[in-house]
Structure 1
Amino acid sequence: MNIVAVVVTRDRPQLLAQALDALVGQTRPPSGIIVVDNASGMETQQLLATRSDVKVCRLEQNLGGAGGFAIGIETALAAGADWIWLMDDDAIARPNALAQLIDVAHDAQPRTGAICSAVWEFGKLAPQHRRNFNPATLAEPSVPFSAYQTKFTGIDTASFVGFLLNAHAAVEVGLPLRKFFLAYDDTEYSLRLGKRGWKVLLAPGSIVDHMRSPLARLRHGPFGIKHYYTLRNQLAVFRHYGRARPWRLWLPMVRYAYVALRDRKISSLSLWRRSIRDSRHITI
């Protein structure tokens, strides 16, 4: 089984070094590691120059997480990967994380498109990374804690933190949408897999620690570019995959309006309005 890990990075060399060491140190290490360097500065370039154990895809322009993962998957497919393990540069896989995913892959049904690790943040389970989706209401509830007591269970959407992608599924459904830049590219991709009949599974025995800062949560202001892309792309995904009445689209708009209003800045409200306007021009 040829498993290629893909890590997308942008100017976080210390975390990247930890992420790469964790991949190399797996009890069942991947066959190869591809790092997509999203136009990082000199410190990251110098780190990668010392790593003979990775293949570096250097981008001279920052294409965001969506563009980085699209290029990484494309590169892994060209290298003959059977499965592609997607990871952010702040994701630290525990030593048996990949072995646990492979164990589930052996038991899973043929149309299994992706198998996902459990994600931990701040020393505890972060269930928001693994969700279900109700197209009639646009609700995105986290997978219940009871699901984490099973060997594996079906889910609807997952972040690209510890996302083991079946190469056959990737060939059939295509690549993540580069125009999303960041945010909701993984949700859209999960729903696309499901729409084409590929299952997405959660394997709770596999654990990845996501080392993001608590201040990185979108509930914190100020309303910035991450909020813009998240709301823009979320609305585009809801319109494409949902069957809900139009008024339900106001719920995420109002949620992000609160963050923008809290800033008490015209620029924040303008960016909020632009995210709603631009969402209507995103085709999936």
Structure 2
Amino acid sequence: MSSPSSAPLTEAAVPFDPASATIAIVTYNRSGLLSRLLTSITEMDPKPGHVVIVDNASTDDTTEVVESFREGLGAELVYRRLDTNTGGSGGFSEGMKVAYDLGSTWVWLMDDDVEVIPNGLARMGAWAPRFKSIQGRRYDYDGSEFYWQYRIAEPLGIPIPFAPAGFDESGFKPMNSGCFEGMFIHRDIVEQIGLPDPRFFIYWDDQMYGWLASRKTTSVIVNEFVLRRTREIKQWDMGIRHMNASSNAYRYYIMRNRGHMKNYYRSLGVYNPILFGAGTALTFGKEVIRLIAVERTVRGTSNLFRGLRDGKKITKDASWRPMPPLVDIS
């Protein structure tokens, strides 16, 4: 892998301090997976200053698992148990807020179904003097290289599935998206774009947040493997790419949240009704293909239609506003 020092710095470099970073984890009823992730954090070198765990009102033994790691984690542990399940979106919004209030310079977001490569923080920190919105790479459950769609077709509001996977000698590629399974972001950008939007509940929230970040700074994906997925997901192997199985809840929010995306586009003056509508139609078609090819059924399309209906209600809500910048709040 290429060293980040192989290209010149564009501004004065600030040395990365691991203690200035916070890992923010969102979990819900997956204590076994969470235990694997926390075990991997105990093996990290260097470790972050804080580990924030947001528990979306789990009903299993998550609290006991978290407390069992408090003494031996090697970083200050902050546990937030929510009263209700706010989805991944609400969890990451709360996790980002807690990390920000702790004074963290860097926030590393991750789901509970990954584990950290021991030197992962050092690998991400090596790029911190140059960029403020960074995505590392992940190994899949089977140890293969996981491909993440790091660019979106902005007018359509959808990922580009065949953006080149390879890296040149620079070791990074510009991105205009984001993924909460490994997003590494500087507090300066969080101040400007605000917290992740909890109204999404699940889906499109991280793509939107990464896109908003890319409008404020040069966002990059770097050729550094820093995470490993620990949960196997049913997939359709298409050779070059894979298509994962979904659920009725995901199908609903995939379509409903196009309403929130449309409102963000409108607020920023980049909304094109024809092109964005085409992106919505392509999303609908992709989910139908997913149902047939991966899950071998046509049951579930009603959730797509419900999502479309409720998304239209969101676009007609005159009180809707984007998440406010934190600098304005403070």
Give me the TM-score of the superposition, normalised by structure 2: 0.76
2:233 corresponding residue in structure 1: 214
CA–CA distance in structure 2, aligned partners of residues 43 and 148 of structure 1:
45
What is the CA RMSD across the aligned residues, in angstroms?
2.4
Segments of 4+ in structure 1 off by > 6 A?
none
1:89 corresponding residue in structure 2: 112
1:246 corresponding residue in structure 2: 277
Aligned residue pair count? 275
Q: Aligned pair in 2 of structure 1 residues 22, 227: CA closer, same or farther (>3 Å)?
A: same
> Is 1:263 the counterpart of 2:286 in the alignment?
no
Q: Aligned pair in 2 of structure 1 residues 51, 245: CA closer, same or farther (>3 Å)?
A: closer
1:279 corresponding residue in structure 2: 311
Cα deviation digits, residues 51-84 of structure 1 (max 9, x gap): 2142100112010111001111100111110001
1:120 corresponding residue in structure 2: 139
Cα deviation digits, residues 151-199 of structure 1 (max 9, x gap): 222211121111111011111110111010011110010111122x222
1:201 corresponding residue in structure 2: 220
Q: Point out where structure 2 has 5 or more consecutive residues left out of the alignment.
A: 1-16, 237-242, 323-330
Q: Aligned pair in 2 of structure 1 residues 46, 248: CA closer, same or farther (>3 Å)?
A: closer
- Aligned residue for 2:23, secondary structure, equals strand
Query: Identity of counterpart residues, as a percentage?
Result: 22
Q: Aligned pair in 2 of structure 1 residues 259, 204: CA closer, same or farther (>3 Å)?
A: closer
- Aligned residue for 1:104, secondary structure, equals coil
Listed as ranges, the matches of 1:3-152 within 5 Å are 3-52=21-70, 53=73, 54-106=77-129, 108=130, 112-121=131-140, 122-128=142-148, 130-138=149-157, 140-142=159-161, 143-147=163-167, 150-152=170-172
In our comparison, the structure showing a higher alpha carbon Rg is 2
8 Å CA contact retained: 1:4, 1:31: yes
CA–CA distance in structure 2, aligned partners of residues 227 and 159 of structure 1:
18
1:173 corresponding residue in structure 2: 193
- Aligned residue for 1:131, secondary structure, equals coil
8 Å CA contact retained: 1:228, 1:271: yes
Paired amino acid for 1:39? A
Following superposition, the deviation at residue 245 of structure 1 comes to: 5.8
Q: Point out where structure 1 has 5 or more consecutive residues left out of the alignment.
A: none
Following superposition, the deviation at residue 119 of structure 1 comes to: 1.7
Q: Aligned pair in 2 of structure 1 residues 248, 32: CA closer, same or farther (>3 Å)?
A: closer
Following superposition, the deviation at residue 13 of structure 1 comes to: 1.0
Give me the TM-score of the superposition, normalised by structure 1: 0.87
8 Å CA contact retained: 1:98, 1:206: no
Higher helix share: 1
1:160 corresponding residue in structure 2: 180
8 Å CA contact retained: 1:156, 1:194: yes
CA–CA distance in structure 2, aligned partners of residues 234 and 150 of structure 1:
35
1:227 corresponding residue in structure 2: 251
Q: Aligned pair in 2 of structure 1 residues 57, 141: CA closer, same or farther (>3 Å)?
A: same
Following superposition, the deviation at residue 258 of structure 1 comes to: 4.3
